[in-house]
Every structure is written in structure tokens, then in C-alpha cells.
Amino acid sequence: MSSALLPVFARTDLAFEHGEGAWLTTVTGERYLDFGAGIAVNALGHCHPHLVEALREQAGKLWHTSNLYKIPDGERLATRLVAASFGDTVFFTNSGAEANEAAIKMARKYHSYSGHPERWRIVAFNGAFHGRTLATISAGGNPKHLDGFGPEVPGFDHVAPGDEQALLAAITPETAAIIIEPVQGEGGIREVPAAFLRRLREICDERDLLLIYDEVQTGIGRTGHAFAYELSGVAPDIMALAKGLGGGFPVGACVATAKAASGMTAGSHGTTFGGNPLAMAVGNAVLDVVLEPAFLKEVRRKGLVLKQKLGALVDRHPNIVEELRGEGLMLGLKCLIPPGEVVSAFVDAHVLTVPAGDNVVRLLPPLIVSDDEMALAVERMDEALDALDKRLAQGLSAAE
Ligand SMILES: *Cc1c(COP(=O)(O)O)cnc(C)c1O
């Protein structure tokens, strides 16, 4: 069947008609447990009553004005993000890539504004993902994402995460900043050790470099903390957010210290849609729920429960899964067979998961998932892996 959509996604043959909590129902009425949450977007699951109410109410009042005017809900959301983080100021965007673009521009501008326009290069890490705009594919450095799109946006130098020698060698008098995901998401749920983040902070402080965290996937409660940097206690100067922030409504944010943002004066950057009243109403509603300390404590508890159940799953299927990784409800199964085959087997068992780099299957359930739903998902995944084990024992590839 041909489609009018640009074929840049290899889509699974599933279409959903409605959702509720951690469940999705297809157009033909089949139910799936959603342990992908739209790639860590549906933080509060599907159709959370508080979010539906906030969107409905705002839809009847005002959708869009312009950033030429004041947007009180945006002021409020920014104030709340600042109060919950290291930051002093916020720029709203529509996506994660745009939040990173703002972070990259801000870091360059900081140095030019403080008399060092020669400092514009940014050190990034192998295996990173920062989005799909021209600058963010260069920041990510993944050859598959760069192929065929002409010369890279200059100014990004890549090193291996954890390699301090390579990092020090990559820093030159032209370096402005370091950008890193505290836990690599697309790269395969690879946690950056707290000790390395501490070194990054020291190196940045010694050399007046800005430390940028891409928390587009890790932020807004995903790891059991409002922001993943709380796990290490090492704060950045600039942080990109998106995915969970709107719970499914497209919104991103670039949070920064006053110092890092000092060059971003009136007219230096902008957006038409970013931070519009609809997005701000939903963002505030997400924070109403996620920033409750009791809610985050529950996410940490559920993360441990899921980790324990998955640990048993890994032990039971050593021919398919070799390792369990991650924090909170951002977990990964490192596989010995292509992760796409495991994801397909889970789809057959009516559990949705997401493949990632480094042979990893990501489990990113909505943060409101229940213990029963976690138990059921793991039971279904266990059965799916049993079936895969049998096929492998018969010498068949998982896909045959
Ligand atoms: C998803 C993601 C992005 C890109 O976000 P978009 O909204 O797709 O532009 C950037 N960085 C990280 C870490 C992500 O997970």
C-alpha cells in the first residue's frame, strides 16, 4: 500500500485509535501495553485527566498569540522550571532539536558577547543524539544521520564518553562548550558515570567553558528525578528539555544560568510557535503532577521494581539478553541479537518498546504505569523471549 507520507520512517503496521494510561488500542480494537510512551514523551500516559482538562480549557480560551506579547502561563512555566533546577532563565521551543539549537547558539553567543568570538567550537560525544536539524546532526555525529546532506555544520569535535585524555586533547582556545546527555538515550541507555560528569564540571570551570546537558529524553521525571543531573549532583550551565515536558503536546525548553544566557539579548533569537499558550497550559499541567515529590518517589520505587523483574528476565534468557541498564523508568536490555527482532517479538506479545543503538531495546513506560502493568508487561516479554529462544535453538534466525 503506498503512502503519501515521506518514507523516512520504517513504520510498524499498527495504527492506534485511542489510549488510556499505559494502554493503547488499535483501530481494530486490539490492546497494547505501551512501554515506549511515544519515545519517553507520554510521561503521564495517554489521556491523563489533568492534561486533557488543561488542554480543553485552554483550547476554549486562546491557542496562540505571539511572543510579541506576554504569555502569563509561559512566565509561570519558566518560573517553575527555574525553581526546580539550576537555571535562572528559560527559552521555549517546539522540539528537542530546537532546544539544543538554542543551547548551541547561546554557548557561542556567551563567548562572543564576553569578547571571545573565536570560541565557538563544541565538544560532543560518540554515540550522542541531539536531534535532526543540520546543526544537531553535526553535534550528534552519527554518520547515518549525516549521509547525503552536504557538508557538516562546522564546530563539533567528538570524543568517546569517559575518555578524559581525548577530551582534554579536543579542547582548544576555540572551544566554547561541552554538550552531553547524562544518560545517552538513542545511543542505548548508556549512563555517563558521575565521576566523569564531575570532571567535565571542573574542566569547564577551569577554562570558562559552558557545560550543556541534553536532557530532552532524561528530563521531567524519567529517571525518577525531575532532571537526570540530580543523580550525579553535577549541574550544567545550559539544559535542553522536550519529550516529557508536554506529555505529548510538542514543547521544548532551553534552561540556562543568567551568566550562560548573558549574550541572548532582545532580537538575538526567536520562535513563532515556541511557548504559545496551548503548549504552556499543558506544560504547566505536566509539572503539576511530575514535580510532586511523592510522584517522583513513586517513579524511583517503580523503577526498582521493574529493574528487579527485568533482571530475572535477563537471567532466564542469556542467549538473547546480556545486560540490563538504566535508571528509574528509562531502562535498556542489551541484546545479543538485533534489537529490532526483539522489539517485533514484543509487539507480537502486545508490548510496545523502542530499539536504540548499541543493540539495546528501550523500556520507557509512562511514569504513571502501575505495578500490575509492569508485572504483565514482563510476563508477556518473558513469553515472547521463550518463543525466540525456541527458534534460536532450532537454528532459525529470530526473524524467520
Ligand atoms: C529525542 C531527542 C532529541 C530530539 O528531539 P526532537 O523533539 O525529535 O527534535 C534530542 N536529544 C535527545 C537526547 C533526544 O532523546
Residue 66 has pLDDT above 70, yes or no: yes
Residues 11-28 pLDDT 10s: 999 999 999 999 999 999
C-alpha cell of residue 193: 558515570
Ligand 1: which of 132, 181, 186 to mutate, most ligand atoms within 8 Å of CB?
A: 186
Query: Which has more confidence, 1 or 350?
Result: 350
pLDDT computed for residue 2 by the predictor: 81
Sign of CA dihedral 45, 51, 53, 59: negative
Closest alpha carbon to 40 in 365, 331, 346, 333: 365
Return the DSSP state at 366. -
Residues 159-196 pLDDT 10s: 999 999 999 999 999 999 999 999 999 999 999 999 99
Average pLDDT, the chain: 97
User: What is the Å distance from ligand 1's center to 32 Cα?
Assistant: 24
User: What is the Å distance from ligand 1's center to 97 Cα?
Assistant: 6
Mean predicted confidence (pLDDT) in 373-391: 97
Ligand 1: which of 94, 104, 130 to mutate, most ligand atoms within 8 Å of CB?
A: 130
Return the DSSP state at 131. -
**For residue 118, what are the contacts with CB-CB under 8 A and spacing of at least 6?**
111, 173, 174
pTM: 0.97
Q: What are the residues facing 184 on neighbouring strands?
A: 190
User: What is the Å distance from ligand 1's center to 159 Cα?
Assistant: 20
395: left (phi over 0), alpha (psi -120 to 50) or beta: left
Q: Which CATH number fits domain 49-290: 3.20.190.10, 3.60.20.10, 3.40.640.10, 3.90.25.10?
A: 3.40.640.10
Binding-site residues for pyridoxal 5'-phosphate, in ranges, read: 96-97, 129, 214-217, 272
User: What is the Å distance from ligand 1's center to 95 Cα?
Assistant: 7
Strands 360-363 and 330-335, sheet pairing:
antiparallel
User: What is the Å distance from ligand 1's center to 217 Cα?
Assistant: 7
Cα separation of 324 and 334, whole Å? 6
- In single-letter form, the type of residue at position 247 comes to G
Cβ count near 140 (within 10 Å): 28
Strand, coil or helix: 265? coil
Query: Closest Cα to atom 5, ligand 1: which residue?
Result: 96
8 Å CB contact between 18 and 47: yes
8 Å CB contact between 140 and 216: no
Query: Closest Cα to atom 10, ligand 1: which residue?
Result: 130
Residues 285-331 pLDDT 10s: 999 999 999 999 999 999 999 999 999 999 999 999 999 999 999 99
User: What is the Å distance from ligand 1's center to 174 Cα?
Assistant: 26
pLDDT computed for residue 395 by the predictor: 79
Residue spans per domain, the chain: 49-290, 293-333
Q: What are the residues facing 334 on neighbouring strands?
A: 323, 360
Ligand 1 pocket by C-beta < 6 Å: which residues?
Answer: 95-97, 100, 129-131, 181, 185-186, 214, 216-217, 242-243
**Which helix (H) or strand (E) segment is 38 a member of?**
helix 37-40
User: What is the Å distance from ligand 1's center to 306 Cα?
Assistant: 24
Atom number in ligand 1 closest to CA 132: 9
| Matching residue, cell 490492546 | 31
Please report, in angstroms and rounded to a whole number, the separation of the first and last CA atoms in the chain. Answer: 23
Residues 220-267 pLDDT 10s: 999 999 999 999 999 999 999 999 999 999 999 999 999 999 999 999
Cα separation of 329 and 303, whole Å? 5
Query: Closest Cα to atom 15, ligand 1: which residue?
Result: 217
- In single-letter form, the type of residue at position 326 comes to G
Strands (E), the chain: 16-20, 23-26, 31-34, 89-93, 121-125, 156-159, 175-180, 183-184, 190-191, 210-214, 238-241, 252-256, 321-327, 330-335, 351-352, 354-356, 360-363
Residue 397 has pLDDT above 80, yes or no: no
Closest alpha carbon to 58 in 251, 266, 205, 216: 251
Atom number in ligand 1 closest to CA 133: 9
Ligand 1: which of 183, 189, 216, 251 to mutate, most ligand atoms within 8 Å of CB?
A: 216
User: What is the Å distance from ligand 1's center to 316 Cα?
Assistant: 33
Q: What percentage of the chain's residues is helix, strand, coil (to nearest 5)? A: 40, 20, 40
- For residue 315, how far is the Cα from the chain centroid? 28
Residues 357-366 pLDDT 10s: 999 999 999 9
Cα separation of 172 and 374, whole Å? 48
Closest alpha carbon to 241 in 231, 251, 252, 230: 252
Counting every residue written for the chain, the total comes to 400
User: What is the Å distance from ligand 1's center to 260 Cα?
Assistant: 22
Query: Closest Cα to atom 11, ligand 1: which residue?
Result: 130
**For residue 197, what are the contacts with CB-CB under 8 A and spacing of at least 6?**
180, 182, 229, 232, 234
Tell me the chain's radius of gyration from C-alpha atoms. 21
**For residue 315, what are the contacts with CB-CB under 8 A and spacing of at least 6?**
none
Ligand 1: which of 39, 42, 104, 129 to mutate, most ligand atoms within 8 Å of CB?
A: 129
pLDDT computed for residue 9 by the predictor: 94
